[in-house]
Homo-oligomer: A and B are copies of this chain.
């Protein structure tokens, strides 16, 4: 144990630390012979400059923070890959923070990030977050880019997908497949993507003159077993829905399992479309129709915009926001007539 420092190199070579530092950075102030001696020793002792020393002096850490609800979720893990790909290319490091959809945790994390630990932050807001002071405070101090789950009130770049259209499209797709009683499974009203998807859903119901007394929105929450019970109850009720739009992919397993348990056939008895990035959707029983978000691209773009601002040493501009459309991938869970 024990890391090699510039001081050790200097001592070993009878030089000042300044000379060693300059030699390593190939300064013209150092003779070729000395440079070689320094380089040789640095290589043989496997010297790596201490990043925090440099960060302190240069007032930048070459590190960004990625604050996301969860990694065990295809959307976020793909987005993370996109972010990471750009970070690597720019020589940056990525600190990952998981909020687990919890506001208190998110507050703690963002408070910590006010310290100067990172040069910039890319985040996707937790489902349970309904106040935004902690984000505003961070935004005063560090460049910030939102992706997917944004905070509308904060003036910065936001990378989103066309949530309203997708809510509309998913619903329209079910209507065209013959569904009359369409339920939207939603989460957190405070979340912008949730409300946009819901607005799209509602507009589709209106545009296609659906009987809205038969359609409703059901709020999903964090308690998984309660959600399952909720689903079972929903599927047992006499005006059982014949179509489900699930706004988060996490719900998929439970919907399928609940239907299996009750002997309800997808797509014959009920049709299901989920917002999901699960690459296994094609091999589900039945294969699942999804609204699939451009996760990797969204992460990549969010990171690109952040790094552009870091390079210019400016604020992240809200007019750099972008909307990358999602795809409706039609599979067996919504095909065949009812």
Contacts and interface: CB of A to CB of B under 8 A. Distances in A.
Interface in A81-104: 81, 84, 93-96, 98
A53 interface: yes
Most chain B CB inside 10 Å of its own CB: which residue of A48, A53, A286:
A48
Contacts of A285: 283-287
A81 B98 contact: yes
Nearest to A137: B46
A124 interface: no
A263 to B, nearest CB: 15
A256 interface: yes
B46 A142 contact: no
Contacts of A4: 114
A211 interface: no
Interface residues of A, number: 54
Contact of A96 (B49, B94, B115, B260): B94
Interface stretch (A18-26, A71-79, A227-235): A71-79
Contacts of A61: 52
Nearest to A108: B88
A15 interface: no
Contacts of A252: 280, 283
Interface string A104-124: 000000011011110000000
A166 B88 CA distance: 36
Contacts of A141: 1-3
A131 interface: no
Given A48-B115, A56-B56, A143 B1 contact: yes
Contact of A71 (B81, B117, B280): B81
Contacts of A315: 1
Contact of A283 (B78, B93, B140, B256): B256
Contacts of A111: 46, 48
A290 to B, nearest CB: 13
A93 B61 CA distance: 15
